[in-house]
Structure 1
Amino acid sequence: MIRVIIVDDQEIVREGLKMILSLHDEIEVIGEASNGRELLKLLETHTPNVILMDIRMPVMDGIEATKIVKVTYPKIKIVILTTFNEDEYIFEVLKDGADGYILKDSDSQEIVNSIKTAYADQILLNPKVTIKVINLLNSIEDKKKAKANNSEGKRLINSLTQREKEVTSHILQGKSNKSIAEAMYVTEGTVKNYVSKILEKLQLKNRSELILFLQKYGE
């Protein structure tokens, strides 16, 4: 059973999501909150596997809430609920460790898939929004020439060993550590060590940043 908490300041959105998720026996909505502060209070007594998190909310928005949850409860997965005009916010929450994002007008199957994907330690990025986020990343990095120029990104990619590049290839396919381990005939712990080493070499914080980096600088 995948335990889910829904966080959105609009009650009609929360009710709609609860109705969709109630049709799936493998998912249980164990709580809801209208802002980040309510969520943090709820997490004192409830332990979800996945949080569906809105970005724009009063009192405490989804950006700040994501940052706190990822530090305090690192095992909890967070899927961001977003609209097309929230590019810069999406970039921020991905940097803080969000495990994926979906558009609020996504169909029910995509919403369910996003929850299952995050729960399985994979990441689901809406392709249309991903392009906008990458464009935003390009714009930001263009202003920071030392970190932004393409040759530096390529140099960091080339610093990876062949085995590490094989791991990044699997990550780009959205595979979990367990799936990567099976494909490479190694233990899951070995894969985790590879991922940690890759993040260190590329000077990145988490898997979300890694995917964006690979999409920009990878072959």
Structure 2
Amino acid sequence: MSTYTVVVAESQTLFRDMITNFVEDMDEFCVIGKLKNGQEVINFITEKEVRPYLCLLDIHMPIMDGMACAKKLKEVYPNIKVVLLSAYDDETSIERVISVGADGYILKSSGLDEFKETLRFIIDGKFVAPQKMVHYFSKRLDTLLKLERESSLHYIKEHFNHRQDFNKREWQIIQLMKKGWTNRMIADHLGISEGTVKNYLSIIYKKLEIKNRVELLQMLSEMTG
């Protein structure tokens, strides 16, 4: 059986020793470093010239917290697995965990069996997170997919009954308006002047029998599926 080297970083001695004991109780892991903060982790890896398979980092540590350490490790040593430990599962913490590229997220309230199972999933290359975190991002993904669908040209044309009086450029501008783009953003994207965008919008307003941008945005905002 392969042995995977682990570095544990936790500012509180009691928790650090407990986590270390949990890890060393598993035959497939060997703890090679017990440290108090993220900076000590970086120094340990640099000075000892070691590349641990896994770094278990508490999110809340002095000097350099787990998030900052995880971000640094993933930038310099992308192959090192990084798992963050926290007592919190709020949405802000969840988003930060994803943003630093961590390989997993374990709540300190987890049971011992769950903790060990999570580490074994990490070995298999899986991203592991609490159920609340999975549900949160599942909802976010559903929302993003819905927005993407409702901003598709096909969806917009369908909403306008595939009317034939819009040309390709006008459809493009309507689509970008649906995405919330400004005239300047639309002009830069299409490689035309901002004045030209305004001219196209004037034509679109006339065809839709509306007066201004506000009314067009209102029409687009009502396009829900």
What's the TM-score once normalised by structure 2's chain length?
0.58
Identity of aligned residues (%): 29
Deviations 1:108-139 (Å, cap 9, x if unpaired)?
A: 2221222222122111111123334666x58x
The match for 2:51 among 30, 43, 47 is 47
Query: What's the CA shift for 1:66?
Result: 0.8
Name the SS for the 2:96 alignment partner: helix
Confirm whether residue 84 of structure 1 aligns to residue 88 of structure 2.
Answer: yes
Name the SS for the 1:121 alignment partner: coil
What is the identity, as a one-letter code, of the residue corresponding to 1:150?
A: K
Query: What's the CA shift for 1:29?
Result: 0.7
Q: Who wins on radius of gyration, i.e. which is larger? A: 2
Structure 1 unaligned spans of 5+ = 143-147, 157-219
**How well do the aligned residues superpose, as a CA RMSD in angstroms?**
2.6
| Greater relative CO, 1 or 2 (CA 8 Å, sep 6+) | 1
Moved over 4 A (4+): 132-135, 153-156
In structure 2, the residue matched to 1:5 is: 7
Deviations 1:50-102 (Å, cap 9, x if unpaired)?
A: 11111111111111111110010000011111123543123112122101111
Confirm whether residue 66 of structure 1 aligns to residue 62 of structure 2.
Answer: no
For residues 54 and 82 of structure 1, the distance between their equivalents in structure 2, rounded to whole angstroms, comes to: 6
The match for 1:116 among 117, 120, 125 is 120
For residues 88 and 125 of structure 2, the distance between their equivalents in structure 1, rounded to whole angstroms, comes to: 25
Name the SS for the 1:43 alignment partner: helix
For residues 123 and 114 of structure 1, the distance between their equivalents in structure 2, rounded to whole angstroms, comes to: 9
For residues 99 and 113 of structure 1, the distance between their equivalents in structure 2, rounded to whole angstroms, comes to: 14
Confirm whether residue 152 of structure 1 aligns to residue 156 of structure 2.
Answer: no
Aligned length: 148
For residues 64 and 149 of structure 2, the distance between their equivalents in structure 1, rounded to whole angstroms, comes to: 35
In structure 1, the residue matched to 2:168 is: none
Closer, same or farther: CA 153–20 of 1 in aligned 2, 3 Å: farther
